[in-house]
Amino acid sequence: MWIKSCLMILLFSLSVCAFEKPNIVLLFADDAGYGDFGFQGSHHFRTPHLDALAEDGVVLTQFYVSGATCGPSRAGLLSGRYQQRFGFEEINVPGIMSPNSKLLGDEMGLPTDFPTLGNYLQDLGYKTAVFGKWHMGVADRYHPLKRGFDEFYGFRGGARSFFPYPQPEKQKHENLLERNFGEYKEHKGYLTDALADEACDFITRHRDKPFFAYVSFNAVHTPMQPDPKDKDEFPQLTGNRRKVAQMTLSLDRACGKIIGMLKELGLYENTLIVFSNDNGGPMDKNGSSNYPFSGVKGTQLEGGIRVPGVVAWPAKLPKGGTYDFPMITLDLIPTFVTAGGGVPAEMLDGVDMLPYLLGENKERPHQTLHWKMETRGAIRDGDWKLLRFPDRPPRLHNLATDPGEQVNLAAEYPDLVKELFKKQFEWEMELERPRFMLRREEEALSARRADEFSVPPAADY
Helix axes 239-264, 48-55, angle to 10 degrees: 50
Strand 127-133 versus strand 63-64 pairing type:
unpaired
Per-residue pLDDT of 82-108, as tens digits, reads 999 999 987 665 544 444 444 456 778
Taking a C-beta distance cutoff of 8 angstroms, is the pair 76, 330 a contact?
A: yes
Residue at 435 is within a domain = no
Residue at 408 is within a domain = no
Residue at 12 is within a domain = no
What pLDDT shows up at residue 141? 95
Residue 175 CB neighbours (<10 A): 18
The three state secondary structure string of 87-108 is CCCCCCCCCCCCCCCCCCHHHC
The pTM of this model reads 0.91
Q: Where are the alpha helices (DSSP H) in 220-301?
A: 239-264
Per-residue pLDDT of 373-398, as tens digits, reads 989 999 999 999 999 999 999 999 99
Residue at 383 is within a domain = no
pLDDT higher than 80, residue 299: yes
DSSP 3-state assignment of 147? coil
User: Residue 181 is part of a domain; what is its CATH number?
Assistant: 3.40.720.10
DSSP per position, 377-415: EEEEETTEEEEE-SSS--EEEETTT-TT-----TTT-HH
Taking a C-beta distance cutoff of 8 angstroms, is the pair 279, 32 a contact?
A: no
The dihedral formed by the CA atoms of 256, 160, 175 and 436, expressed in degrees to the nearest 10: -100
Active site residues: 70, 135
335 Cβ neighbours under 8 A, 6+ residues apart: 272, 350, 352, 353, 354
Domain count of the fold of the chain = 1
User: Is residue 119 exposed (0-12), middle (13-18) or buried (19+ Cβ within 10 Å)?
Assistant: middle
> Residue range 13-17: average pLDDT?
40
- Phi (first) and psi of residue 294, to 5 degrees: -80, 160
Taking a C-beta distance cutoff of 8 angstroms, is the pair 257, 196 a contact?
A: yes
Quickly state the pLDDT bin for 17 (edges 50, 70, 90): very low
What pLDDT shows up at residue 345? 96
Helix (H) or strand (E) holding 154: strand 151-155
- Which of the pair, 19 or 267, is modelled with greater confidence? 267
What pLDDT shows up at residue 452? 52
Residue at 84 is within a domain = yes
Output DSSP code: residue 434.
P
166 Cβ neighbours under 8 A, 6+ residues apart: none
Residue at 377 is within a domain = no
15 Cβ neighbours under 8 A, 6+ residues apart: none
64 - beta bridge partners? Answer: 306, 328
pLDDT higher than 50, residue 8: no
Residue at 8 is within a domain = no
Instruction: Give the structural domain span for 335.
Output: 21-366
DSSP per position, 36-89: -SGGGT-SS---HHHHHHHHTSEEETTEE-S-SSHHHHHHHHHHSS-GGGGT--
Residue at 274 is within a domain = yes
What pLDDT shows up at residue 41? 96
